[in-house]
């Protein structure tokens, strides 16, 4: 589904990704872990097409197409979803109005008919319930005045409505209490299917108790220094990131 | 005073109108004379004049305007969002109010032409027409007093709940012409009224709109005013509103300025009774080489009054915007609470905004705040929308409309709010592409 080969990327002239290679097949969940500043979030933003990040080398193929050639909105229309680490507050743009525009843009790109108001309302009510999202948040401006937990839940709510093929969760767990974490994980797990894949970027192992990954990759200084199964996450939790840098483990 | 084509044209119009005005009452002739004297004294201002320094009128001065053609035909049927306005309407065609028999009785109000006023009404008009502001403060308002045709008077006596739409409509003409329109609104104590003015004109062809509207609010009265300026692309729009806000009365005005090559609006309010409240809000959208100039002036003359101002501008291409917000708090106006905000979005590196708060405070126990922000679209918000699949262009429009929406959502009347929202979105789409 996603083939990343020797990806290099920089922001403001600083190289952050220094040669990432990663292969993701349909049905898989990959966790990307690593210390702060290792490039985890950069990888997520580069995949979503953030204009501040410059790809300086390598290539990325998504379902047979050159991902790096696509604008951010085209990537989203083709099924890539980034759950933001810091969801943006957008005063004056109503949450459900925005989501309807997004959903219809995605549906149009898929060759599906746009949803009418009634069907859309039924859909978002159902998804809001799944994520235990206060329906009052649907009629408020996007993320404006939402608590940290509400913002993260709203991201997963958007994801549940848009039903992406490849979801990229950028530290969605940070700042969530255990109940919210469980709800967010349920939302992600509900989308798991043999056709879809996920990349879960996280600093902590905690989230991975609820979203069990097939693969865990450890990023350090812009490179994957270690890959393994879900047990690698537990090992990291036990020993921290420092042991990876010790001789004999890298 | 140096002569110019426009000055000569205005003098010629006055001469031409003189016979028809011979029958006007003496007080009106005197008022017109005072207006003319004040205009002659001030002339057409140059950019050397402090109040007009960002508003070049050289092109206007050079134009030999013809008098507005009369009986040029009926106004075209409104199309687009404007068609959504209610049917309680008075049309002013090329500056001439159309009112059969000179009078219309509505629920809670009567609307009449000054020429059809009863002696009692005339006396009430005499005390108010041209008396909200100094004739030396605005040359075109002074000229308007000299030049205007039959004034339209709206006398609000009770709850005039259905909004009245005053439709200023310029018709196509093969040569540049000038109109001068005067409207007077008198709200009796505790009366309520809602008023919508639209300024419409042909897509092409130069003309000058010179419109003055004066409001007198009695104690406890409430007036909602919205003006929608969608003049033709070659038009020059010069207008002034002035509200006298009485004790415990409330005046709220929203100025939507989207059209004309050059639009200058002076929105004024005098707080003359304690407990009064006024709101002067506005949205302006300019593209191409348009210039939109908004001057506001709030005169806090007495204590315990509030004023609120929120202006939002969107400037694309090589357009220019001016916002000058003057607040005068006189010595007696203790406990004044005045707030002024002007926010501007620049969509192009070539667009310009001149924004200037002008606070003159002579009382010591007051709260006056002002703020101006000039910015570009929030790149993070733009990426957020695009990352959810929304096309860049649509994302732009969505964010800009949200920016302007902050003002539009404060319009009380739901139908009007919908019309304004659609008009602004249309203007943004046109300006952004």
ipTM for this model? 0.94
Whether B238 and B229 have beta carbons less than 8 Å apart is answered as no
Over the stretch B366-393, which tens digit does the pLDDT of each residue have? 999 999 999 998 999 999 999 999 999 8
Is residue A249 predicted with pLDDT exceeding 50? no
Whether A76 and B387 have beta carbons less than 8 Å apart is answered as yes
Residues 6+ apart with CB under 8 A from A203: A33, A34, A35, A36, A40, A171, A174
Looking at the 3D structure of chain B, how many domains does it have? 1
B50 contacts chain A (CB < 8 A): no
Is residue B310 predicted with pLDDT exceeding 90? yes
- Average of pLDDT values for A14-27? 95
Phi, psi at A30, each rounded to 5°: -110, 130
Over the stretch A32-57, which tens digit does the pLDDT of each residue have? 998 888 999 999 999 999 999 999 99
**Which chain A positions have a beta carbon within 8 Å of B395's beta carbon?**
73
Any idea what the Cα angle at residue B382 is, between residues B379 and B388, rounded to 5°?
140
Mutation to test the A interface, candidates B343, B388, B390, most A Cβ within 10 Å: B388
- Average of pLDDT values for B97-109? 93
Mean pLDDT of chain B, nearest integer: 94
- Average of pLDDT values for A71-88? 95
A-B contacts (CB, under 8 Å): 80
Looking at the domain assignment, is residue B157 inside a domain?
A: yes
Cβ of A71 within 8 Å of Cβ of B392? The answer is yes
- Average of pLDDT values for B54-81? 89
Q: A248 falls in which pLDDT band (50, 70, 90)?
A: very low
Cα torsion for B115, B188, B311, B60, to the nearest 10°? 20
Q: B352 falls in which pLDDT band (50, 70, 90)?
A: very high
- Measured distance CA(B292)–CA(B317) in Å, rounded: 13
Cβ of A93 within 8 Å of Cβ of B398? The answer is yes
A209's tokens? 């108790």
Closest by CA to B310, choosing from B347, B341, B332, is: B341
Pick the residue with more confidence: B353 or B70? B353
Phi, psi at B389, each rounded to 5°: 105, 0
What are the CA-CA distances from residue B48 to residues A54, B55, B425 (Å)? 49, 10, 36
- What is chain A's alpha carbon radius of gyration, rounded to the nearest angstrom? 18
Looking at the domain assignment, is residue B431 inside a domain?
A: no
**Which chain B positions have a beta carbon within 8 Å of A105's beta carbon?**
388-391, 394
Cβ of A51 within 8 Å of Cβ of B383? The answer is yes
Mutation to test the A interface, candidates B379, B386, B389, B390, most A Cβ within 10 Å: B389
Looking at the domain assignment, is residue B280 inside a domain?
A: yes
Report the pLDDT value the prediction gives residue B343, as an integer from 0 to 100.
96
Number of CB atoms found within 10 A of residue B77's CB: 7
Cβ of A49 within 8 Å of Cβ of B403? The answer is no
**Which chain A positions have a beta carbon within 8 Å of B392's beta carbon?**
71, 73
Report the pLDDT value the prediction gives residue A203, as an integer from 0 to 100.
84
Is residue A160 predicted with pLDDT exceeding 60? yes
Number of CB atoms found within 10 A of residue B19's CB: 8
Report the pLDDT value the prediction gives residue B2, as an integer from 0 to 100.
59
Closest by CA to B259, choosing from B221, B233, B289, B223, is: B233
**Which chain B positions have a beta carbon within 8 Å of A84's beta carbon?**
384, 387
Any idea what the Cα angle at residue B208 is, between residues B102 and B72, rounded to 5°?
50
Closest by CA to B247, choosing from B278, B216, B215, B274, is: B274
In the block, tokens 């348009």 appear at B290
Report the pLDDT value the prediction gives residue A250, as an integer from 0 to 100.
40
Rounded to an integer, what is the distance from CA A212 to the centroid of its chain? Answer: 15
Report the pLDDT value the prediction gives residue A187, as an integer from 0 to 100.
86
Is residue B120 predicted with pLDDT exceeding 60? yes
- B25 CB-contact burial (10 Å; exposed 0-12 / middle 13-18 / buried 19+): middle
B402 vs A50, A87, A90: nearest CB: A90
What are the CA-CA distances from residue B397 to residues A138, B65, B393, B402 (Å)? 21, 38, 6, 8
A157-166, A231-240, B286-295, B346-355, range with the lowest pLDDT: A231-240
A71 contacts chain B (CB < 8 A): yes
Report the pLDDT value the prediction gives residue A240, as an integer from 0 to 100.
76
- Measured distance CA(B234)–CA(B151) in Å, rounded: 26
Over the stretch B78-97, which tens digit does the pLDDT of each residue have? 889 999 998 899 999 999 99
Cβ of A90 within 8 Å of Cβ of B385? The answer is yes
Over the stretch A171-204, which tens digit does the pLDDT of each residue have? 988 888 888 888 888 888 998 999 999 999 988 8
Cα torsion for B171, B175, B180, B181, to the nearest 10°? 0
Domain with B116, as residue range(s), is 5-376
B6's tokens? 């426009």
Is residue B118 predicted with pLDDT exceeding 90? yes
Report the pLDDT value the prediction gives residue A230, as an integer from 0 to 100.
86
A98 contacts chain B (CB < 8 A): yes
Structural domains in chain A, sorted by start: 2-245 (3.40.50.300)
A136's tokens? 């009052």
B362 contacts chain A (CB < 8 A): no
> A1: distance to nearest CA of chain B, Å?
19
Cβ of B388 within 8 Å of Cβ of A158? The answer is yes
Any idea what the Cα angle at residue B220 is, between residues B141 and B117, rounded to 5°?
50
Residues 6+ apart with CB under 8 A from B409: B417
Cβ of A77 within 8 Å of Cβ of B389? The answer is yes
B378 contacts chain A (CB < 8 A): yes
Report the pLDDT value the prediction gives residue B433, as an integer from 0 to 100.
62
Report the pLDDT value the prediction gives residue B271, as an integer from 0 to 100.
98
Looking at the domain assignment, is residue B426 inside a domain?
A: no
- Average of pLDDT values for A66-74? 96
Nearest residue of A to residue B394 by CA position?
A101
- Average of pLDDT values for B59-75? 87
Whether B291 and B236 have beta carbons less than 8 Å apart is answered as no
Looking at the domain assignment, is residue B425 inside a domain?
A: no
Is residue B31 predicted with pLDDT exceeding 70? yes
B381 contacts chain A (CB < 8 A): yes
Report the pLDDT value the prediction gives residue A246, as an integer from 0 to 100.
55
Among left, alpha and beta (phi > 0; psi -120 to 50; other), residue B254 is beta
Is residue B72 predicted with pLDDT exceeding 70? no
Closest by CA to A79, choosing from A171, A159, A187, is: A159
Looking at the domain assignment, is residue B390 inside a domain?
A: no
């Amino acid at each position: 589904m996603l083939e990343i080969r020797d990806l290099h990327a920089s922001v403001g002239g600083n190289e952050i990704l220094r040669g990432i290679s990663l292969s993701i097949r349909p049905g898989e969940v990959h966790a990307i872990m690593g210390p702060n500043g290792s490039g985890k979030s950069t990888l997520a933003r580069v995949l979503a097409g953030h204009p501040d990040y410059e790809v300086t080398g390598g290539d990325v193929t998504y379902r047979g197409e050159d991902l790096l050639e696509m604008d951010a909105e085209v990537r989203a229309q083709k099924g890539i979803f980034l759950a933001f680490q810091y969801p943006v507050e957008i005063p004056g743009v109503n949450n459900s109005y925005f989501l309807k525009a997004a959903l219809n843009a995605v549906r149009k790109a898929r060759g599906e008919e746009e949803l009418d108001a009634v069907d859309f309302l039924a859909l978002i009510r159902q998804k809001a319930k799944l994520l235990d999202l206060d329906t009052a948040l649907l009629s408020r401006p996007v993320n404006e005045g939402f608590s940290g937990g509400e913002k993260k839940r709203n991201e997963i709510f958007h994801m549940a409505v848009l039903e992406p093929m490849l979801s990229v969760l950028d530290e969605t767990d940070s700042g969530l209490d255990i109940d919210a974490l469980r709800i967010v994980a349920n939302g992600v797990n509900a989308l798991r299917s043999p056709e879809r894949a996920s990349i879960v970027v996280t600093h902590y192992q905690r989230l991975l108790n609820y979203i069990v990954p097939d693969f865990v990759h450890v990023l350090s200084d812009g490179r994957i220094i270690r890959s393994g199964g879900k047990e690698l996450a537990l090992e990291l939790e036990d020993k921290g990131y420092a042991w990876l840098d010790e001789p004999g483990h890298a | 005073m140096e002569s110019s084509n426009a000055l000569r044209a205005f003098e010629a119009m006055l001469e031409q109108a003189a016979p028809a005005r011979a029958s006007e009452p003496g007080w009106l002739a005197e008022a017109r004379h005072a207006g003319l004297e004040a205009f002659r004294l001030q002339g057409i201002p140059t950019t050397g004049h402090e109040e007009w320094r960002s508003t070049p009128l050289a092109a206007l001065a050079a134009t030999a305007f013809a008098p507005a053609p009369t009986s040029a035909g009926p106004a075209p049927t409104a199309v687009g969002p404007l068609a959504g306005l209610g049917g309680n309407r008075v049309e002013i065609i090329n500056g001439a109010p159309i009112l059969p028999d000179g009078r219309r009785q509505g629920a809670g109000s009567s609307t009449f032409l000054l020429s059809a006023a009863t002696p009692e009404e005339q006396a009430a008009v005499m005390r108010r027409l041209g008396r909200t502001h100094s004739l030396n403060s605005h040359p075109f308002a002074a000229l308007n007093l000299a030049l205007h045709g039959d004034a339209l008077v709206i006398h609000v006596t009770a709850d005039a709940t259905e909004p009245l739409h005053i439709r200023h409509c310029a018709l196509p003409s093969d040569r540049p012409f000038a109109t001068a329109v005067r409207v007077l609104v008198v709200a009796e104590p505790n009366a309520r009224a809602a008023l919508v003015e639209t300024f419409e004109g042909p897509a092409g062809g130069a003309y000058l709109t010179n419109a003055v509207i004066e409001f007198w609010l009695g104690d406890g009265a409430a007036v909602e005013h919205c003006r929608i300026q969608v003049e033709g692309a070659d038009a020059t729009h010069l207008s002034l509103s002035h509200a006298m806000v009485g004790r415990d009365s409330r005046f709220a005005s929203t100025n939507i300025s989207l059209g004309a090559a050059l639009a200058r609006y002076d929105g004024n309010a005098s707080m003359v009774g304690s407990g009064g409240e006024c709101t002067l809000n506005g949205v302006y959208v300019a593209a191409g080489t348009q210039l939109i100039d908004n001057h506001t002036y709030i005169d806090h003359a007495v204590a315990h009054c509030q004023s609120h101002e929120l202006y939002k501008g969107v400037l694309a291409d090589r357009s220019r915007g001016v916002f000058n917000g003057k607040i005068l708090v006189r010595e007696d106006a203790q406990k004044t609470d005045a707030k002024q905000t002007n926010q501007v979005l620049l969509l192009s590196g070539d667009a310009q905004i001149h924004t200037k708060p002008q606070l003159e405070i002579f009382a010591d126990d007051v709260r006056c705040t002002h703020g101006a922000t000039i910015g570009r679209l929030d790149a993070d918000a733009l990426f957020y929308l695009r990352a959810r699949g929304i096309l860049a262009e649509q994302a732009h429009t969505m964010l800009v409309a949200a920016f302007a929406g902050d003002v539009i959502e404060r319009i009380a009347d739901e139908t009007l709010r919908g019309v304004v929202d659609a008009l602004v979105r249309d203007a943004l789409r046109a300006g952004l592409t």
